[in-house]
Each structure stands twice: as C-alpha cells, then as structure tokens.
Amino acid sequence: MRISEAARVSGVSARSLRYYEEEGLIVSGRSANGYRDYCQSTIERVRLVRALLDAGLPVRLVKEVLPYVTSQDGVCAEFLAQVQSYRDRLAERIAGLAERQAALDAYLAAARPDRVP
C-alpha cells in the first residue's frame, strides 16, 4: 500500500512513517515508480513503534530494543529489562526534581518579607 493508505491504516502521519524509516525503525519497499510500498507486517511494526513511543520510550531506546520484541512470542526478557532500566532512571530523575522543588519551596517560604517570625 502507498504511504497515504499506510498512514490511514496505521494511525500515524505520512511524515511519521518517513521519519521512522529514516531512523531505521521500519523498512518500506519501493514500487517501480519509486513510491514507498508498505506491507501489512510493516504496518504492524509501525503500530508497535507508535505504542512504544506513546509509552514514553525515546526513539533511541525503541531502536535498540525493537529487535527483542516479537509479536508472536510476546516480549523478550531483554526488552523488559531495558524498559525497566529506563523506567528506573526516570524515577530517579523525578525524585531528584521533587527534592529540588521542595528545597526551592522552603527557600521561598523563608525568604518572603511578609513572613512572621
């Protein structure tokens, strides 16, 4: 199917399809006139890529773990380990930001001129 049909069927824009191909996340065939040609397995991969990106994984990690994900056998333990590691790093960053926010709140509360001792 051509890119406009693939975009409609997969639920992503034609621009996203081109970007995924540019990043090596999907591969499209080419017709005799040079137009992109998408098969059903590529559409399924597009949906998987979109789901991973929607879950918050960066393109870099999606590209890294995509070979470990199979639609027939479920998800591979290596893939789950990568996702867990990414999630743990996010949790650490969130905790650090929460600490900074609390410190700023404490500073602002102490520095207000209308504060009664």
In this prediction, residue 39 has a pLDDT band, given cuts at 50, 70 and 90, of very high
Q: What is the pLDDT of residue 10?
A: 94
Beta strands in 4-116 (DSSP E): 29-30, 36-37, 69-70, 74-75
Nearest in space to 41 (alpha carbons), one of 57, 31, 28, 30 = 28
| C-alpha span between 25 and 67 (Å, rounded) | 10
98-105 — which CB contacts under 8 Å span 24+ positions?
Answer: none
Q: Which tokens is 107 given? A: 């500073």
In this prediction, residue 70 has a pLDDT band, given cuts at 50, 70 and 90, of low
Average pLDDT, the chain: 88
| C-alpha span between 30 and 80 (Å, rounded) | 34
Please say if the pLDDT value at position 42 is more than 90. yes
